[in-house]
Amino acid sequence: MNQEIIKNISDKNGQIIILLGILVYLAVIILLTGPINASRIEVMHALGVPALDPLFGDALCVAHWCDGYQRGEDPTAPDFKDPSGKMISMNYPITFLGLHYLGLTASRIDEWGAVMGVVFVMGVLALAGQCSAIEGALWLLAIASPNVVMVIERGNFDMLIFNLLIIVFLLRNRIIISSLFIILATALKLYPAAALTFLIMKKRASWNLFFLFCAGAGVIIYYLLRTMGHFGLDLGLTSCCFGSKVIALILAQKTGFYPDWLPLGSQLFGLAALFAFILLGRHKERFDQSALIEKTLAAFWIGIPVYLAIFLSGDQADYKMIMALFAIPVALEWIRLGLKSRWIPKTWLVLFLIYSYWLFFSDEGSLRNLILRQIVAWGLFLITALMAGFLLPNSWKKQIHFGEK
């Protein structure tokens, strides 16, 4: 009987490992910041998280925009200030101001931050589903990594985007409803439009969905090109950023070499590399995608196009790496089933964890350290593209039948 219980825990209850690990992580933070009286910033930095003051600072900024909007001020004005006098002109889509009607105010920011963090963790648990103890430990490593913890510490609304995509994942067999949630996420930030790829994979024969995808792709391309001017020379930010332009940004800062074509050239190189590795994956000896559980394929095609679009956009904060979590289910199943080319998902997991924990082991700001970290980020991007090539249908006329297994 005891052996049966142990086997059940080992085979199906990896979520218990995840929850226990999260509780231990929180207990360590509470112990160090409470009885031991260490500062929150010191504790989080020791854990590799580039924490800032105040807690939930990104959400607080949005809350100040909402409060200003309620007072009749224009948060998009260049001289908009928070109550302390700091310039915080709005750089998000104005749709975020609608959060005011849901109760987002600066006075309730701690509640909002805590709730968003809890819901985000619940979303990750839903994505993980039932898993073995070993798989649960891998999920825990991902959740407790500095990149993922940072999105909670900052209270960044990418958690909201992530959870909207989780709803798409949970309602993946209701095509209209899931489409509406993709559109809602896209209204908040443009890059979730890449999740429309999932609709094409789900119902390839629909011309309406094809045109919807083309419209979404147009939005993404416009967004990528629009960001070519977003190429600041703040080297301090590159220690916790990733994207197609970051290496060029670092070299521009160090060498002063900054031609006008460099930002867009970096993005176009990334786009060419993306297509090259997808095609490489399609032309290798592959397995039948029907060997995989449909929900793991669905998770991949909902979240990973978003991650790839974020990388191509140029220079984004590390917490946006949470979108790469959507590849973990298919990577773990690929390994568990012993399918062909298992080195691909294994390499993906290794690179993801190396990048995610880099700041835990080294926050040195040397040129060598910065470049090596970005090489790992590029490696993760390219191996993800290779996975995408492997997971495309074997025939362009054959759709992936999500929801049949």
pLDDT digits (tens, 9 = 90+) for 107-153: 999 999 999 999 999 999 999 998 999 999 999 999 999 999 999 99
The verdict on residue 245 lying in a domain is yes
Confirm whether 151 is domain-assigned.
yes
Consecutive H or E run containing 241: strand 241-242
C-alpha distances in Å from residue 113, one per residue of 54, 57, 303: 12, 9, 23
Residue 307's pLDDT is 96
For residue 208, is pLDDT > 80? Answer: no
Phi and psi based region of residue 340 (left: phi greater than 0; alpha: psi -120 to 50; beta: remaining): beta
pLDDT > 90: percent of the chain: 43
- Residue 401, in any domain of the structure: no
For 232-276, write each residue's pLDDT tens digit: 444 445 567 899 988 888 888 777 777 777 778 888 899 999 999
403, part of any domain: no
Asked whether residue 69 is assigned to any structural domain, the reply reads yes
Residue 91 maps to a domain: yes
- Convert the pLDDT of each residue in 273-319 to its tens digit: 999 999 898 876 666 667 788 899 999 999 999 999 999 988 888 99
Residues in contact with 350: Cβ distance below 8 Å, sequence separation at least 6, in sequence order: none
Instruction: List the one residue out of 63, 52, 53 whose CA is nearest residue 107.
Output: 63
Domain residue limits at 122: 2-391
CA distance 156 to 55: 11
Helix (H) or strand (E) holding 86: none
Task: Compute the radius of gyration of the chain from its Cα atoms.
Answer: 21
- Of the given ranges (43-57, 159-173, 216-230), which has the lowest mean pLDDT? 216-230
213 belongs to a structural domain: yes
Residue 350 lies in a domain: yes
Higher pLDDT, 234 or 61: 61
Q: How many domains does the chain have?
A: 1
- pTM as predicted: 0.88
Q: To the nearest whole number, what is the mean pLDDT of the chain?
A: 83
Dist. CA 269–CA 244, nearest whole Å: 8
